[in-house]
Amino acid sequence: MQLISSLNIKNSEYLSKDRLISYHHQMRLIFSLGHQVKNVLEIGIFNSLMTHLLKSSGYNVTTADIDPNLKPDLIVDLTRDFSLPKDTFDAIVLFQVLEHLPYEQSEQALQKLAEATKKFVIISIPSCTQFLAIQVRFAYFQRPRHLFINIPKFWSTKPICKQHYWEMGLKGYPKKRILNSVAKAGLTVKHEFVDPTYPYHYFLVLEKNSK
């Protein structure tokens, strides 16, 4: 498993405008679940910004990471036969994490996360595309309007980030394959979202299937 170490998470890339857009949507999607979510497990804590934001918003947060230098509550290696407390977390969240594992291992990890969560798994994964995004903002509209054209790079096998084993949209990793993996894990897509201003991060709110 390739790590984003505790030594480089404070560089400008991880505090960029695009990353902060992603943090906004991470929080927004968790908030959208309302009173259904109180106890959250965050896997892959990076600079702990998400942890602080969630705790300050009244959530009970448990952190997990492979890197002990980040001082997580739980040391979890998603590439191994890990276990998590069951019937404890209303939501398990991991943003830009699964692509750091070979795809077959990310599938297995997703299945274990689905078993462990009480209700939801919320993820973001990289989406490798060629896109055109034009934003128009009017003074009398609260939200901007977008023209957004997005084409997966199905002809390429090279991830944008060198630390990634795969990215959605690349040859061999169409969206359909990712959604099949979600269904195989026993999860249903409750909501999917991409921000036209930063379409590289593709968000999925996944709900555990009732038995």
The predicted-structure confidence for 25-50, as pLDDT tens digits, reads as follows 999 999 999 999 999 999 998 778 88
CA atoms of 44 and 50, how far apart (whole Å): 10
- Give the predicted TM-score (pTM) of the model: 0.90
- Residue 133 near residue 208 (C-beta atoms within 8 A): no
Q: How far is CA 66 from CA 2, 45, 73, 161, in A?
A: 10, 10, 11, 20
Taking only the tens place, the pLDDT of each residue in 122-132 is 999 999 999 99
The answer for 191, left when phi > 0, alpha when psi is -120 to 50, beta otherwise, is beta
- Residue 93 near residue 43 (C-beta atoms within 8 A): yes
- Residue 129 near residue 199 (C-beta atoms within 8 A): yes
- Residue 203 near residue 25 (C-beta atoms within 8 A): yes
CA atoms of 198 and 183, how far apart (whole Å): 26
- The CB-side HSE value for 90 (13 A sphere, CA atoms) comes to 13
Token pair 């069951």: residue: 86
Taking only the tens place, the pLDDT of each residue in 149-199 is 999 999 999 999 999 999 999 999 999 999 999 999 999 999 999 999 899
Taking only the tens place, the pLDDT of each residue in 49-60 is 889 999 999 999
> Which residue in 133, 101, 120, 109 sits closest to 21, CA to CA?
133
Give every CB contact of residue 111 below 8 A, 6+ residues apart in sequence.
184, 185, 186
When pLDDT is cut at 50, 70 and 90, the band that residue 6 belongs to is very low
Give every CB contact of residue 89 below 8 A, 6+ residues apart in sequence.
39, 40, 41, 62, 116, 117, 118
